[in-house]
Structure 1
Amino acid sequence: MNIGIDLGGTKIQVGIEKNGEIISQTKALLKEKDSLSSTLKQVINFIKPLMNHGVEGIGIGVPSVVDVKNGIVYNVTNIPSWKKVELKAILEKEFAIPVYVNNDVNCFAIGEHRFGLGMQFRNMVGMSIGTGLGSGIIIDNKLYTGINCGAGEIGLLPYKDKNIEYYASGNFFSSFYDTTALDAYKAAKAGDPEAMSQWNEFGLHFGAAVQAVLYTYDPEAIIIGGSLAKAFSFFKDSMEESFKDFIYPEIIKKLNILVSNNENIALLGAAALVDQALEHAGTVDNPSSSL
């Protein structure tokens, strides 16, 4: 059994992975984000009660660029005190078990590939839509992070006058319509035509993000997660409409676009970082080894 931690800009979620399920789960808002010591103490205090379950390792997903080898996180999104945190060393000193750190959306992609809708695909991209837009890349059954754990930042590609993330994340609703994605979702569910029009416009922008993924990685599947995924039915049609000008229509025909159906999938992916590291250690001479 391994502990998985999903650390967001506003919340922390911790649980134990056992046979592809999360047990003993705890979640809460992240407190005193301007204090590194306070936030680290909160993380440690969440882990402590789970250590009596025979845990073998800890995996943690963080919304930042990560030095994966050394477990150092930099400039964590929405946690101003986390400029450079040697998270692996801190937690290994505290608990004396192996700790592995990666980007949170990479953990989402790993979770889908190991335990979720991505199990049937060798090449897939997980796209998480929330406050921002991130992607995790699986190529030939292996997570691809790039040299600096920066691969998959599709949202930061230039688009219109800003970048893709500005238009294809929750930021779209606050920037252009002075509302939130949640309120727009509730209004659309109630049949409000203005909200439905907003989601229709959003879908055109998200379609551009999908096209960027297709031109870059050409995966078998894209799996959509994050808080805005629940609104997929409201932007699906306009997203697909945006594909009409895609240069390679055969790619669109073969593409599988799925919506994540497991709210714990990022937590499962974080826990799987431990097994992934052990598998890699045992197969370093085998370039075809999978996750």
Structure 2
Amino acid sequence: MTAKVLQIIRRAKLPLSKAELAEETGVSLSAISVHVERLLEEKLIEVSKIGVSSGGRKPRQYALNKNIGLILSIELGTSFVHIALTNFNCEILYLTTSDIDITDGPDRVLTRIHELVDQMLLENKVDKVSIKGIGIGIPGPVDFSMGIPISPTIMPGWDKYPIREFWSKYFDCPCYVDNDVNTMALGEHAKGLQFEVSNLIYVKVGSGIGSGIIYDGVLYRGSTGSAGDIGHFDIGSDVVCWCGNKGCLEASAGGKAIVSKGKERALSHRSEYLLQILNSRGKLTIDDIGTGVLQLDSTSVALVRESGTSIGRVIASIVNFANPDLVVIGGRVAEFGDIFLAAIRQSVYQRSLPLATRNLIINKSVLGNMAGLIGGAFMTIDQIIIQSTDNEADIILK
């Protein structure tokens, strides 16, 4: 029950009194007092303010002690890594970014990340002991209970690699590993939306396409951790996907597909803007397409609109099936302005049933490119609390 009380205090928008906690949990005021005093003793919560009296003593109101420790949150992409230290309110205190190549394999990549973490701690004079948990989001399927990647096609050499054990060599704290889109969904739900929406689908559109699902306020991972893998929905095209199948959404509408199409259209002289970049640099990037959208290059605009339309068709099927309150669009391509979002919305509303879209909202991510780091921290703190028990007073934080 102590852990439950902590979760309620942690997720509340405003500080809560003992009476409010008793009402929320359905237990007596005296029982709540025992749990609150224990949390105060462990310094997990603090008196935030004194409330207004209703006739007796003014009630104390309690909030999470966000400075009880730090969380190391890592977001690993195919070509980059973002690393952050957050407090227990998931506020980012320190942040660093570096280029990496995920195909270099886990030993080399994780060793490089560890070097970056050490450098961050040294530069900011942070003691390793203050880190109470590590959360990592990776761009591939994960067995969450084991903390290992499972057959991640774009991560050669990572299959079943013991990521937790790697970090246990350097830090005396728990480590949790999840798919990167799941951590983004958690961050958006908890900190971007402040738990105001119970059913949402977070769609990430970057080099690939994936989604995280919040159902009835809880992240849904599926039986083996692969829930939300919408990038391999068949949209009926002849394009061969890296997975070996034809017609996958990701192969036609993901960031890599957009760049590939951009190169083809540049070489066929349908965009002087893209052709000029291709001739000068020898390649195009997704950021070049984004800049083209901002400069109203007609080919770049068309590429992004086509991607949004295809993604919207798949989201429409999901909306008809799952009936979410909200669809959140995140990832690099989502930052290309309203053209992309408008194409998704139009496609969803055209193809979804009226009842499913009656109250549906489709919005860009509130947290943007920080969703994964914030969500990784939230996931880690959540797991630390969930795995604590009332029988061990110091298990929540070592």
Please report the TM-score for the alignment, with normalisation by the length of structure 1.
0.89
Query: What secondary structure sits across from 2:373 in the alignment?
Result: helix
Partner of 1:47: 117
Partner of 1:288: none
Superposed CA RMSD? 2.2
Q: Which amino acid aligns with 2:353?
A: Y
- Within the alignment, does 1:276 sit opposite 2:382 as a pair? yes
Partner of 1:98: 174
Aligned sequence identity (%): 28
Q: Which amino acid aligns with 1:30?
A: I
Q: Which amino acid aligns with 2:97?
A: K
Partner of 1:265: 371
Query: What secondary structure sits across from 2:185 in the alignment?
Result: helix
Aligned partners of 1:155 and 1:209 also within 8 Å: no
Q: Higher relative contact order by CA 8 Å / sep ≥ 6: 1 or 2?
A: 1
Q: Which amino acid aligns with 2:202?
A: G
Q: 241-250 or 134-143, which moves further after superposition? A: 241-250
Aligned partners of 2:316 and 2:349 also within 8 Å: no
How far is the alpha carbon of 1:65 from its aligned partner?
1.2
How far is the alpha carbon of 1:122 from its aligned partner?
0.8
Q: Of 241, 247, 250, which aligns to 2:355? A: 250
Partner of 2:188: 112
Instruction: List gaps (5 residues or longer) in structure 2.
Output: 1-69, 238-246, 264-283, 390-398
Query: What secondary structure sits across from 1:94 in the alignment?
Result: coil
Q: Which amino acid aligns with 2:209?
A: L
How far is the alpha carbon of 1:64 from its aligned partner?
1.3
User: What per-residue deviation string (whole Å, max 9, x for no partner) do you get for residues 211-242 of structure 1?
Assistant: 13213322111111110011241123332332
Aligned partners of 2:341 and 2:363 also within 8 Å: no
Q: Of 2, 9, 17, which aligns to 2:78? A: 9
How far is the alpha carbon of 1:282 from its aligned partner?
4.9
| 1:80-95 matches, cutoff 5 A | 80-95=156-171
Which structure features the higher share of strand residues?
1
Alignment CA distance shift 1:6-1:32 (3 Å): closer
User: What per-residue deviation string (whole Å, max 9, x for no partner) do you get for residues 79-134 of structure 1?
Assistant: 42323311112212331211011000000000101111363101111111000001
Query: What secondary structure sits across from 1:95 in the alignment?
Result: coil
Q: Which amino acid aligns with 2:316?
A: Q
The aligned length equals 284
Alignment CA distance shift 1:35-1:163 (3 Å): closer
Partner of 2:335: 230
Alignment CA distance shift 1:32-1:10 (3 Å): closer
Alignment CA distance shift 1:109-1:243 (3 Å): closer
Query: What secondary structure sits across from 1:13 in the alignment?
Result: strand
Q: Of 278, 290, 304, which aligns to 1:199? A: 304
Q: Which amino acid aligns with 1:163?
A: C
Please report the TM-score for the alignment, with normalisation by the length of structure 2.
0.66
- Within the alignment, does 1:36 sit opposite 2:141 as a pair? no
Q: Which amino acid aligns with 1:52?
A: D
Partner of 1:169: 254
